Amino acid sequence: MRIGTSGFSYDDWVGPVYPTGTKKADMLSAYAQMFGCVEINSTYYAIPSQSSFASMVRRTPDDFRFAVKANKEMTHTQTPSDATFAAFRSCLQPMADSGKLGCVLAQFPWSFKLSKENTSQLRRFRELTEGLRVVVEFRNSEWVDDPRTFEFLRSLDLGFCCVDEPAIEGLVPPVVEATSGTAYVRFHGRNAAKWWHHDQAHERYDYLYSQDELSDWVGNVEGLAKKSDELYVFFNNHYKGKSVQNARMFARQLGLEDAPGA
């Protein structure tokens, strides 16, 4: 079981999380002293070079793990190119070679609804990521409303990403399932007012979970741990380091006081 945050390189973490004066180049090393895994989201916007990921590998301990989000061209277009998948796989090589690549997170948009075309797209996604551990995050509730979705994911050895997010009609509710050897949970916060309507993207994730809200997930996460080979829990409510506060809080609730950051 590994607990961390979605991203680590935020300017508004200097002060609340990192010491004043911390440079961007030093953030990952500082982060790795707090947590044993991180979710890389920048890959959604651009596929980095191998040298960039090789540098990240060098700046983290041997037992550190990375979860890497798939590029938007792989999940947010109807006909993603083979070349994009090839480039993405290539950039992961330093992490894979070092044993630090935990899994790939494929987050599909709300417009990606349950249909024959989209199930076919998931099959193709799996074919083009063969050999990698992959976890799928749906944003549209149609997928979890149909119990056949979970068997479909199991048939492709695709993990299911459990989410905690605002209780808004059409969004995925907090369904707890493990469909592969890799279980995965993302806490997005519950800022319903800013989910669809915000001026800045970070406003959506401006939310601090209470002890009681997190305690409701303790049994669920412990259950997922028993059904999987590895379990990742990431907090995406990153505004001003709130994800760090909640990750530490949740680690304590799970009895992981000896874990980094707890």
**Torsion angle, alpha carbons of 105, 65, 84, 120, to 10:** -30
- Distance between terminal CA atoms of the chain? 13
Show the low-confidence residues of the chain (pLDDT under 50).
Answer: 261-262
pLDDT of residue 202: 80
Chain centroid offset of residue 95 CA:
16
* Closest to 35 measured CA to CA, from 132, 102, 89: 102
pLDDT of residue 259: 54
pLDDT of residue 262: 45
Q: Which fold has domain 2-253?
A: TIM Barrel (3.20.20)
pLDDT of residue 200: 83
pLDDT of residue 258: 52
pLDDT of residue 188: 97
Q: Domain residues of the chain, as ranges? A: 2-253
